[in-house]
Amino acid sequence: MGGRSMDRKVETCPPKVIERVVELLMPPASREHVLGDLSERYMSPRHYLVDALRTLPFVLVSRVRRTCNPTLDTAVVVMLCFWAVIWGNGEHVWLAAGIPTFVAISVLILRGAYRANHLEFLPPPPSDYEWAFLGVLLSQAILENTFPVLALSPDALLGGFPVGFIMIFFMRWETCRPSCSRDTCETLRGGQR
């Protein structure tokens, strides 16, 4: 079985531009070996691209599953309710609160998946929240220009950001749990310091 792939001599390699794009899209923790395997299977630029695009969703979902905080679903509900309450009793209140919540949580999930050497027992760094903040701001700017009725009010934005993110930060901090043995975790924790 292994011999079959060993016999397959790689005459050419994928075009640098395509390889670079795939490299950027691939989560760093899986990048090295997945790109190597894709190069080994290379037959033509089209085949390489199709192979990479078929592989990427599985790798990304797997990284999200491995890095996603277990209480993120609770955080979504808390953040959604919080923004909805701040926003008040206006029309489309749940949809208006749901959009920034979805954006913020998506950014936090993707940041976790695309972080190199993610250690699940360590809390996510504060820079994740800056990216989520930027994501929400961008989505609100787009909404303001397209569907103003769904954009949060300035009060809701100013009040919701600090309190909402602080709540989620502490929820994620508290629920960081080791997925490895105690000894391994201690070794890795020592290496992180």
Residue ranges binding other proteins (CB under 8 A)? 1-2, 4-6, 9-10, 13-14, 19, 30, 32-37, 39-41, 51, 54-59, 61-62, 65-66, 179
Q: How far is the CB of 123 from other proteins (least distance, A)?
A: 20
Of 105 and 113, which CB lies nearer to other proteins in the complex structure? Answer: 113
Q: How far is the CB of 109 from other proteins (least distance, A)?
A: 16
HEC string of 62-103? HHHHHHCCCCHHHHHHHHHHHHHHHHCCCCCHHHHHHHHHHH
Of 18 and 81, which CB lies nearer to other proteins in the complex structure? Answer: 18
Q: How far is the CB of 51 from other proteins (least distance, A)?
A: 7
Of 89 and 117, which CB lies nearer to other proteins in the complex structure? Answer: 117
Of 31 and 169, which CB lies nearer to other proteins in the complex structure? Answer: 31
Angstrom distance (rounded) from CA 33 to CA 49? 16
Angstrom distance (rounded) from CA 192 to CA 184? 12
Of 40 and 155, which CB lies nearer to other proteins in the complex structure? Answer: 40
- Across 68-100, b (16+ Cβ under 10 Å) vs e yields bbebbeebbebbbebbbebbeeeeeeeebbbbb
Angstrom distance (rounded) from CA 167 to CA 163? 6
46-to-15, 26, 49, 57, 94 alpha-carbon distances in Å: 10, 18, 5, 18, 44
Q: How far is the CB of 165 from other proteins (least distance, A)?
A: 29
Q: How far is the CB of 33 from other proteins (least distance, A)?
A: 4
